[in-house]
Amino acid sequence: MIAPDHAPASRPQAPQGDPSAPLLSVRDLHVQYRRPGRRSTPVDAVRGVSLDVPRGRSIGLVGESGSGKSTIGSAILGLTPVTSGTVTYAGTDITHASRSERRLHARRMQAVFQDPFGSMNPAVTVGDTVTEALRHNLKLGKQEIEERLLRALDDVGMPASCAERYPAQFSGGQRQRLAIARALVMNPEFIVCDEPTSALDLSIQAQILNVLLDLRERRGLSYLFISHDLTVVRHLCDEMVVLYAGAVVERGPAHVVAESPAHPYTRALLASAPVPDPDQQRARRELRLEAGNAGSGAPRPDHGCRFAHRCPFAVDRCATAEPTLAPVGDSAAACFLAEDIRERGLLA
C-alpha cells in the first residue's frame, strides 16, 4: 500500500469575511411540496427553520421520518427548491444559486448519503467512482488526482488496492467509507451527512462515526449530521436540533438535550433507543407507547401545538396557541410545559 502523507489538504480560497461568523447560516427556511398530478394545498415540509453551523463544528438534525430533516439538507445543497428564507455559506447567499454557481460551491460542500451502493455504478471501479466529481469539476493533472484519491482512501481506512475493484466486492461499511472518500477528494470544508450510519449494524456504525470524528479533527471539517438516532448525534455532534412536523421543537448542546430533554417529542425519541437494563427498557417502551397512543387516530391540528394530539402532557392551551422556542436552562424548547417535563426526567 502506498502511504500518502497527512498534510492538510489545500482547499479553494474562501471569500474574505468575518472568520468568527458561521460557515453555514440558515434563516427562516420554508420548503413546500405539491403532490404530483393533484390540485391540492401545498405541504409544508419545512416551517421556519433557522440554524448555524460554525467552522469545525458538528450540528445534528434529529427527528422521525417526515420531520423535514432530509429536506433541509437537500435545500442547503441546492437539490430542493427553497420556498422562502435564506441559506448563506461563507458569507454568500446561495439560496437560489444557479447551476454554475452550485458547481463552484460543490468544491467546498459535499454530501454523504444513507445508501452508497445506490449511487455507485457497479460497472465502474471504485477509483473512477471516487474521483468522478474531481475529474469533472477541477482541471487537475493525473498525478494530483491520484494523490487525492490515495489520501482520501487512506483517511477512511481503505487500502490503495481497492481503487481497482468494484462496489459489489465490498461490505456495506466499506462502501460507506468509500462514499466518505468520494466527498473528501474535493477537499471540502462542509459535509451534509444524511443518515450515513442508519443502514449499518451497531459495531460498523461506531467505526464510521469514529472515522467522521477523526476527519473533523484532522481536516477541520464542519458537519450537518442528519439522523433519527439521538444517541448517535450525541456521540458526534456539538449541538442538537430536534425537528417535528418541519419545525424546530428543541435545540441545545447535544449532551444537554440527550440527557435532559425538555420537549415531550424529544423525550419519546430518546425512549425509543434500546438500553441493556430490562427494567429501563420496559419503562422506555411504555413511555414510547404513551406518546404514540396519546390522541391516536386524531389528525394533526391546524392550530395550536402540532404535537398536542400525541402529547401525554397536553393542556387546553396547547390546542389554541402554538408555542415558540424559549430558553430552558442551556437549551431551548417549543413547549409550554418544558420546565416541568425536564424536571420529570426521561423515565418519570
Burial 94-119 (b: 16+ CB within 10 A, else e): bbebeeeeeeebbbbbbbbbbbbeee
Cα distance between residue 127 and residue 2, in whole Å: 14
The whole-model pTM stands at 0.86
H/E segment holding residue 133: helix 132-137
pLDDT tens string 135-183: 888 888 899 999 999 999 999 999 999 999 999 999 989 999 999 999 9
User: What does the mean pLDDT of the chain come to?
Assistant: 85
Band of the pLDDT at 341, cuts 50, 70, 90?
confident
Mean pLDDT of 103-119: 83
Q: Which of 74-83, 116-125, 281-290 has the highest mean pLDDT?
A: 74-83
Mean pLDDT of 327-336: 95
pLDDT of residue 270: 86
Angle between helices 172-184 and 142-155 (to 10 degrees): 130
pLDDT tens string 5-33: 343 444 444 444 566 789 999 999 999 98
- What the chain holds in terms of domains, given with CATH numbers, is 25-32+41-243 (3.40.50.300), 260-344 (no CATH)
pLDDT of residue 10: 42
Task: Measure CA 259 to chain center.
Answer: 20
Count of H helices and E strands in the chain? 12, 12
Residue 161's Cβ-count burial label (10 Å; 0-12, 13-18, 19+) is: exposed
Cα distance between residue 55 and residue 71, in whole Å: 22
Cα distance between residue 130 and residue 179, in whole Å: 7
Question: Is 273 or 6 the better-scoring residue by pLDDT?
Answer: 273
Q: Which three cell numbers stand for residue 288?
A: 414510547
